[in-house]
Amino acid sequence: MQDNLQKSSLLADADRAFARALLASQKAAIDAVESALPALSDAADAMASALRAGRRVIYAGAGSSGLIALQDGAELAGTFGLDPDRIGFILAGGLDKRTHIDAAAEDDRAAAVRDLEAESCREGDAVIAVSASGSTPYTLACAQSAKRAGAKVIGLANRPEAPLLALADVAVMLDSGPEALYGSTRLAAGTAQKAALGLISTLANARLGHVWRGHMVNVRPRNDKLRLRAAHIVAALTDVGEDEAARFLAQADDDVKCAIMLASGEASHAAARASLAAAQGRLDIALTRLRA
């Protein structure tokens, strides 16, 4: 009995030590993203420029990197009110009924070219290609095909001198270090990719005027939770209470920016929309003009 208890204790200690090592590697990966901030800012500019010009942003990847890229892009419509048609996705093995990673599809360069063509990638688009190694054949073929189409390629990789970084217009190297679980890229590398993509897309939408004072001012309140959140945003950014904020939202047809303009003294929904249109959707500029 005593021997069994000692073995159990040793196993528990080993488990905790392994868990600490896994966590430490991911903390280090997050810290490593800081050194990539200048490149991430450039990537955000490229993304914002494509969206501002009416073009599309296409996320491309394979395996864990592709799924992480898919998650970032899939959240943009709900968080920032982007038109879902402006965001495209290319994932090795396809998107339908995705319940596991198709490892063989990562080597299929011809499929990558077909998939990019199916997304109608063209000049002025921005393609965000993500690969931990920076040498995944599917992802590289996507990036190469995108460049031929005239799109701007943003490449994220976790290995210096990766081919993807060499061909990208904006190269983001995420030095996430060695994995505590050898051979896996879903931990440290994936953590760094998730953080980096979130920074790129959030900075890009801030530059488009969809973020103001740390709030999602372009969110589209399509359910009860988001309606409450939208009312809180209007109240937090103006001098009104949440009940009054909800009334302004109703007057503005659930347009958060317009509701903020109304709460700030704009005369009507039509006038608020006109002010925002003149400011190219930038709430800060529209409010400055209103208060002047």
Burial annotation 94-124 (CB, 10 A radius, 16+ → b, else e): eeeeeeebbeebbebbebbbebbeebebeee
Burial annotation 213-245 (CB, 10 A radius, 16+ → b, else e): eebbbbbbbeeeebeebbbebbbebbebeeeeb
Please return the burial class of 89, using the count of CB atoms within 10 Å of its CB with bins 0-12, 13-18 and 19+.
Answer: middle
| Phi and psi, residue 265, nearest 5° | 120, 0
Active site residues: 75, 106
> In 3-state terms, what secondary structure has residue 99?
coil
Contact (CB, 8 A) for 186 and 65? no
